[in-house]
């Protein structure tokens, strides 16, 4: 007779096998598109194109550097050396050294840890005096990059910062159960493998459309971004844990914002329900005199897709303010 324990074991093996198969399929369909920089404890995947002052692009939660190779990067390579990084744990970049990564771990790579790892990669690539631009979660990593520069005289210190719907300030209330449950030890062991194995394409497309709302996702975006890479168990756990543990790090980082004097350009939609403008961008400009906000009426969480000309103008303005152009 098949016992409950045996049945559960068979189901677990089946789910694990399915998740691994889907991960292998995602990597086959969406292989690395760039090169790798060696850093302490691992490697960082990046794409670098163009010529001129250095511009670094940091993607948001659940994404990878394909976020920028879809459109924005090619709008900038005629006047900047543009480097897009996969953030730690995402795409093909390793986790930060020393962060627990097992199924029941709950630790996330902090924004400052991520910034330090990517700064090391930037040093290896010979990047100097960069403009650092970050979208969503990448925004807080960009701020961490700038804060790190307050305590060291380093060639990779940011000369200017550009925040695209970036996380910057502590938010009220708790995160959605999607993060709190999946970011727990139980979630890492049980729900993450189930999601990795069973999430249908229709759910992926729905979440993509929800991220872009009220604008639609551009034609071809879903096929380009490689969402299956994020559904790999290791990447999914990394992403969920980074978001689930983020707020405490934002609290500490935001204490250093008044010390920032570098040019900061913020582009943020006032219809953004993911990273609300009134909690983040509108607060930052009150405490950082060098921060300038361009608010986009009716635009949601993806301003670099909804208003790419406005974003490239903001980057150019940051470069001019930093005397890089």
Query: Is residue 225 within 8 Å of 208, Cβ to Cβ?
Result: yes
Strand positions, DSSP E, the chain: 35-39, 42-50, 54-58, 81-85, 131-135, 160-164, 264-269, 291-296
Structure-block tokens of residue 60: 């948001």
Residue 117: pLDDT above 80? yes
Residues paired with residue 28 on neighbouring β-strands, in sequence order: none
pLDDT for position 12: 64
Residues in the chain: 325
Which has more confidence, 9 or 213? 213
For the stretch 53-67, pLDDT in tens is 999 999 999 999 999
Structure-block tokens of residue 124: 């290896």
Residue 73: pLDDT above 80? yes
Nearest 5°: the CA angle 135, 156, 247 is 40
pTM beyond 0.85: the answer is yes
Structure-block tokens of residue 187: 């979630």
Question: Which of 6-15, 50-59, 239-248 has the weakest average pLDDT?
Answer: 6-15
How far is it, in rounded angstroms, from Cα 132 to Cα 154?
14
Residue 135: pLDDT above 80? yes
Query: Is residue 230 within 8 Å of 62, Cβ to Cβ?
Result: yes
- Strand order of the β-sheet with 54-58 is 35-39, 42-50, 81-85, 54-58, 131-135, 160-164, 264-269, 291-296
Nearest 5°: the CA angle 171, 212, 303 is 75
For the stretch 123-134, pLDDT in tens is 999 999 999 999
What does the DSSP 8-state code read for residue 90?
A: S
Alpha helices in 77-219 (DSSP H): 111-124, 137-148, 177-182, 185-186, 192-198, 201-212
Catalogue all structural domains in the chain, each as residue range(s) with its CATH number: 4-321 (3.40.50.1820)
Residue 4: pLDDT above 60? no
């Amino acid at each position: 007779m098949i016992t409950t324990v045996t049945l559960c074991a068979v189901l677990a093996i089946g789910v694990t096998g399915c998740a691994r198969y889907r991960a292998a399929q995602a990597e086959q369909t969406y292989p690395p598109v760039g090169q790798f920089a060696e850093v302490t404890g691992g490697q960082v995947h990046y794409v670098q194109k163009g010529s001129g002052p250095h511009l670094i692009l940091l993607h948001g939660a659940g994404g990878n550097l394909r976020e920028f190779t879809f459109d924005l990067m090619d709008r900038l390579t005629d006047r900047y050396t543009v480097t897009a990084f996969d953030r730690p744990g995402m795409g093909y970049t390793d986790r930060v050294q020393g962060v627990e990564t097992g199924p029941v771990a709950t630790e996330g790579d902090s924004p400052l840890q991520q910034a330090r790892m990517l700064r090391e990669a930037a040093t290896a690539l010979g990047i100097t005096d960069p403009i650092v631009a970050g979208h969503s979660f990448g925004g807080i990593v960009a701020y961490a990059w700038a804060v790190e520069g307050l305590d060291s005289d380093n060639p990779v210190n940011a000369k200017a910062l550009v925040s695209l719907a970036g996380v910057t300030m502590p938010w009220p209330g708790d995160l959605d159960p999607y993060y709190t449950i999946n970011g727990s030890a139980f979630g890492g062991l049980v729900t993450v493998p189930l999601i990795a194995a069973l999430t249908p394409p229709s759910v992926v497309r729905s979440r993509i459309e929800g991220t872009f709302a009220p604008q639609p996702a551009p034609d071809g975006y879903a096929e380009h971004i490689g969402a299956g890479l994020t559904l790999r168990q290791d990447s999914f756990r990394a992403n969920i844990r980074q978001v689930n543990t983020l707020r405490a790090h934002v609290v500490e980082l935001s204490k250093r914002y008044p010390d920032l004097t570098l040019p900061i350009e913020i582009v943020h939609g006032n219809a953004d329900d993911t990273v609300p403008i009134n909690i983040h961008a509108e607060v930052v400009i009150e405490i950082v005199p060098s921060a300038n906000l361009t608010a986009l009426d009716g635009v949601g969480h993806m301003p670099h897709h909804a208003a790419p000309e406005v974003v490239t103008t903001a980057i150019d303005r940051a470069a001019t303010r930093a005397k890089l152009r």
